[in-house]
Amino acid sequence: MRHWIFSCKKISLLISESMDRKLPLYRRLGIKLHLMMCYLCRRYKKQLLFIHSILQTEKTIDEIDCASLSPEAREKIKKKLNEEKQ
Amino acid sequence: MTTGKGKEINPITWLEEYGDVLYRFARARVKDSFTAEDLVQETLLAAYRSRKKFSGRSTLRTWLIGILRHKIVDYYRKQKPEQGEENPDDFVYGMNNMFDAKEKWKVKPGDWDRDPENEYERKELMTMIHACLDEMPKKMALAYTLRELQGVSTDELCELFQTRKNNCWVILYRARMLLRRCLEINWFQGTK
């Protein structure tokens, strides 16, 4: 039973980790169990997700999705490639 | 090569066809457009030099992106920050004292009841997030930005930083902890 109980410090790492990969079942259960008992970690989780969601909406992806090589850069690269071909 | 004998390979057509694709890929992973342009150039040159290695098993596009990825990894490897810069405990919102000896919260997460209600507040909050990131150790902030803003996968991130997965998760964890605390102090403080 002992190792089912994670400390707040450990939980804070696991919650962050769960945003980057799928955790094994026992860890997910461990988090759930801990969160039921701990309002501070519940807050912490909510806050991380909040920050995450803010960043998602602000993604600069759009800008990058339409980005293209500037004509100057294109010319420069072309020149280099032609040199290389010689 | 898939091209038959005698048929000449012209890297200029690669540039025309895939230049923008490569550029976008690079631009999402490095900070400025000049670096991204250089990376595209290096990639195309390298591809041309090793054109015989292109087996046709992958498409030209994935082959080029594969080369570009190596170039980006090299770029970050050369960028290694100076020693001592990466200790998150030195950061103002250091991790050191967040938990007590029993690993319980010492600096308790506050009640954030200030949701950004309108566009203006949202922008302000974004500015604050960027200010917080600027104060963080560089590599950590970069890892975090790539992950959260550019949606780079954790696998790729570990590859870029040439680090073990475990370490990757820890870097992101620390970044989140620091950012959370920084926002709490500078944005949410005083709400309760």
- Taking the CA of residue A58 and the nearest CA in chain B, the distance in Å comes to 8
State residue B87's pLDDT score: 59
- How many whole angstroms separate alpha carbon B2 and alpha carbon B4? 6
Contact A54 B19 (CB under 8 A): no
With a cut of 50, say whether residue A23 has pLDDT above it: yes
User: Can you give the residue ranges of every domain in chain B?
Assistant: 11-78, 88-188
- How many whole angstroms separate alpha carbon B71 and alpha carbon B69? 5
Contact B129 A80 (CB under 8 A): no
Q: What is the DSSP letter of B105?
A: B
State residue B2's pLDDT score: 47
User: Can you give the residue ranges of every domain in chain A?
Assistant: 2-85
Contact B37 A77 (CB under 8 A): yes
Give B74-77 contacts, CB < 8 A, sequence gap 24+: B75/B30, B75/B35, B75/B39, B76/B160, B76/B161, B76/B162, B77/B162
Q: Are A23 and A11 in contact (CB under 8 A)?
A: no
pLDDT tens per residue across span A45-84: 999 999 998 888 776 545 556 788 999 999 999 999 999 8
CB pairs under 8 A between A and B: 132
CATH number for the domain formed by residue range(s) B88-188: 1.10.10.10
Q: Which of A9, A43, A76 to mutate to test the interface with B (most CBs of B within 10 A)?
A: A9
State residue B38's pLDDT score: 94
- A21 inside 8 A of chain B by CB: yes
- B125 inside 8 A of chain A by CB: yes
Q: What is the DSSP letter of B88?
A: G
- B131 inside 8 A of chain A by CB: no
- Taking the CA of residue A32 and the nearest CA in chain B, the distance in Å comes to 17
State residue B40's pLDDT score: 96
CATH number for the domain formed by residue range(s) B11-78: 1.10.1740.10
Residues 6+ apart with CB under 8 A from B188: B110, B112, B114
ipTM: 0.79
State residue B186's pLDDT score: 86
